[in-house]
């Protein structure tokens, strides 16, 4: 083998190895999301009512998850990350009392008090020997409970999950994805679309609303939310979403048409102006003829 052939082979091997390392380093880590979720599940979303940062769709919760992800990648431990959040939001950001200081007392006291109270209650009725046996039994039951919980938690952390051998439906997959990434507006929108496609319009409307909370100025998303709401007889809510949309994007033809139609249905004279604008914007739209018909109905002032 010539020296050039050897050099080319060595060079190619080096390149493949480098590309492999690069691909490994940049590939999304499937465990990263679950690690973020695990830490986020122990933190309260400060702008929500009784929701963890893992489950909330609030923008701030999305920021918390992004921050957790960044810190985990930097090699910080979950405990350090929780400490970082406590420094910024106080201990109320923790969903569970901290396992130190006064927080630790909240964990330990019930475990100590429960057997003691049992013993105190029964001491007067049973003999000292019986009450000692009861105290021992209550303590043993408590310890067994703690050990069982610890074992369950350890099992969960090992990632032991049943294999899913069934082919999942798109809605189910998207629902899981939305549960894992509640702040991902694209996942929410895709789930809403899938629900809409399967005829679950009310569920779709709720998902669209959640997506709109994440991206309130996304005109198309707002329009879709309003369209879904209008189909489940929640016209007022739909109109409330459309009004600011039409004000900021007056050339959004579909939104103009939908708001015009909703107003037409309630006999609102402002429908005329909207329907005329829609016809101007999209004279060849399949619904333009319908708009002309509505105008001819006599809603125009």
Partner 1 sequence: MHPTVRRALLWSVAVLALVGVLAVLSAVREPSRSAPGASAPRLSGTGLDGATHDLADIRGTVVLVNFWASWCAPCREETEVLVLAGERYADDGLAVIGVNSQDRPRYARRAAAAWGADAYPNLLDEDGRLAVAWGVVGLPETFVLGPDRTIVERHKGAVTEQWIDDTVVPLLAEAGAS
Applying CB under 8 A, among 12, 34, 70, 130 the residue interacting with partner 1 is 70
* Residue 242 is a binding residue for partner 1 (CB under 8 A): no
* Span from 26-34, 109-117, 200-208, 292-300 in contact with partner 1 (CB under 8 A): 109-117
* Residue 127 is a binding residue for partner 1 (CB under 8 A): no
Applying CB under 8 A, among 46, 173, 200, 282 the residue interacting with partner 1 is 46
Shortest separation between residue 85's beta carbon and partner 1, angstroms: 8
Tokens coding 216: 């309130």
Site size for partner 1, by CB under 8 A? Answer: 36
* Residue 87 is a binding residue for partner 1 (CB under 8 A): yes
User: Please, which residue, 103 or 283, has the CB nearer to partner 1?
Assistant: 103
Ordered alpha helix ranges (H), the chain: 3-26, 30-40, 59-73, 78-89, 101-123, 128-157, 170-180, 185-197, 201-214, 219-231, 235-248, 253-265, 271-281, 288-294
- CA 167/CA 152 separation, integer angstroms: 28
Torsion angle, alpha carbons of 165, 166, 171, 174, to 10: 10
* Span from 112-120, 157-165, 190-198, 235-243 in contact with partner 1 (CB under 8 A): 112-120
* Residue 132 is a binding residue for partner 1 (CB under 8 A): no
Applying CB under 8 A, among 92, 157, 165, 166 the residue interacting with partner 1 is 92
* Residue 143 is a binding residue for partner 1 (CB under 8 A): no
* Residue 126 is a binding residue for partner 1 (CB under 8 A): no
User: Please, which residue, 116 or 137, has the CB nearer to partner 1?
Assistant: 116
Tokens coding 230: 């209008």
Q: What letter does residue 98 receive in the DSSP assignment?
A: -
* Residue 116 is a binding residue for partner 1 (CB under 8 A): yes
- Please say whether the beta carbons of 295 and 276 come within 8 A: yes
* Span from 26-34, 121-129, 146-154, 172-180 in contact with partner 1 (CB under 8 A): 121-129
Tokens coding 182: 């509640």
* Span from 5-13, 114-122, 220-228, 266-274 in contact with partner 1 (CB under 8 A): 114-122
**Nearest residue to 118 (alpha-carbon basis) of 222, 266, 126:** 126
The length of the chain in residues reads 301
In angstroms, what CA-CA distances link 70 with 25, 38, 177?
A: 15, 14, 20
**Nearest residue to 222 (alpha-carbon basis) of 194, 253, 200, 244:** 244
Binding site for partner 1 (CB under 8 A): 46-47, 59-60, 62-64, 66-67, 70, 85-92, 97, 101-103, 105-106, 109, 113, 116-117, 120-121, 123-124, 215-218
């Amino acid at each position: 083998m010539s020296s050039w052939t050897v050099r080319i082979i060595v060079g190619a091997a080096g390149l493949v190895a480098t590309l492999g390392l690069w691909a490994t380093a940049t590939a999304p880590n499937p465990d990263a999301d679950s690690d973020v979720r695990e830490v986020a599940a122990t933190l309260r979303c400060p702008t929500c009512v009784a929701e963890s940062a893992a489950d909330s769709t609030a923008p701030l919760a999305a920021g918390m998850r992004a921050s957790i992800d960044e810190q985990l990648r930097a090699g910080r431990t979950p405990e350090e990350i929780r400490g970082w959040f406590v420094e910024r939001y106080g201990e109320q950001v923790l969903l569970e009392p901290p396992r130190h200081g006064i927080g630790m007392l909240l964990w330990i006291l019930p475990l100590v008090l429960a057997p003691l109270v049992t013993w105190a209650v029964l001491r007067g009725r049973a003999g000292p020997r019986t009450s000692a046996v009861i105290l021992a039994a209550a303590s043993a039951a408590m310890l067994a409970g703690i050990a069982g919980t610890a074992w369950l938690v350890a099992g969960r952390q090992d990632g032991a999950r049943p294999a899913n051998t069934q082919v999942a439906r798109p809605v189910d997959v998207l629902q899981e994805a939305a549960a894992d990434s509640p702040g991902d507006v694209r996942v929410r929108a895709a789930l809403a679309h899938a629900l809409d496609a399967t005829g679950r319009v009310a569920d779709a409307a709720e998902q669209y609303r959640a997506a709109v909370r994440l991206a309130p100025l996304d005109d198309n998303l707002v329009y879709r939310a309003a369209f879904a709401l209008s189909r489940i007889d929640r016209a007022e809510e739909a109109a409330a979403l459309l009004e600011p949309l039409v004000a900021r994007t007056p050339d959004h033809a579909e939104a103009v048409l939908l708001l015009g139609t909703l107003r037409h249905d309630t006999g609102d004279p402002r429908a005329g102006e909207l329907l005329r604008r829609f016809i101007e914007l999209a004279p060849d739209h399949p619904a333009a003829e319908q708009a002309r018909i509505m105008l001819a109905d006599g809603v125009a002032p």
